[in-house]
Amino acid sequence: MMTDLRTFVLLAGMTALFIVVGQVLGGHNGMVLALIMAVALNFWAYWNSDKMVLRMHHAYEVGPREAPEYHAVVNELVRRAQLPMPRVYIMDDPSPNAFATGRDPEHAAVAATTGLLRILNREELAGVMAHELAHVQNRDILISTITATFAGAITTLANMAQWGALFGMGRSNEEEGGGGGGLGGILMMLLAPVAAMLIQMAVSRSREYGADARGAEICGNPLWLASALDKLDAGSRRLLMGSAQANPASSHLFIVNPLSGGALAGLFSTHPPMEERIHRLQQMARGA
């Protein structure tokens, strides 16, 4: 029930933001068109956003023959967590990372990069996959995936305003009862992506701590996940993930931040500090 309420509030909030962007960029006509697009996107995102995210990161499904150890680890963990078996995907990318997606546990998928599968041992892999299955069990994945879809759409909407391609910004917004003319458009090009990122932050940081804790319980040893996070953090800093750089609106889905460093990335990070995550897992292992 609480998850359903959170999903409804998220959809309503993202829809309102979408409409405000349309209003500022194109006045009354822009607001109406944005409302229509938002309603359509709500329905589409619920049923198809997971497929879109998997395609966005060029993930392909694998079975026990293609990835026997990876598949076996996931299969063992779902039995321990009493979850349905998710679809298992691989992303061809040297940067080590992973995410889960889907609208519910019965329609879930987990995805890991080739870089992750290369550098982690079986125990560390179990820790990471247990973390992702914790997101599935906690029903975080629908909210996270829909947020990625809306945030990407809002960012695209604001960027298109630069060319006046969507709402006819060449005409005076004031004549249409609009939202501030060219200055409003410029402001929205800057502020809409920021607003979308802030919403991502609101739904992402606390859920990572929860998934770490539950993931440690599922795999049976908090130190397996702590060791994996340490390796993933170092590896993701050294090797940038190309698909995440091209689609930053989905960065909150990943177990570690896939975006490049710098002041701006730190300001809008959707992940809690790695040192704190590892510290909490070490305290779990000590029974503190």
Return the active site residues.
132
81-89 long-range contacts (CB < 8 A, ≥24 apart) are: 81/130, 81/133, 81/134, 81/137, 81/218, 83/108, 83/133, 83/136, 83/137, 84/108, 86/110, 86/133, 86/136, 87/61, 88/61, 88/62, 88/63, 89/54, 89/59, 89/60, 89/61, 89/62
Q: Tell me whether residue 156 is exposed, middle or buried, using C-beta atoms within 10 angstroms of its C-beta: 0 to 12, 13 to 18, 19 or more.
A: middle
Q: Which residue type occupies 53?
A: V
DSSP-based three-state secondary structure for 87:
strand
**152 contacts 247 by C-beta, under 8 angstroms:** yes
Tokens of 268: 């809008």
In total, the chain counts a number of residues equal to: 288
Task: Count Cβ atoms below 10 Å from residue 9 Cβ, excluding itself.
Answer: 12
∠ CA(198), CA(202), CA(203), 5° rounding? 125
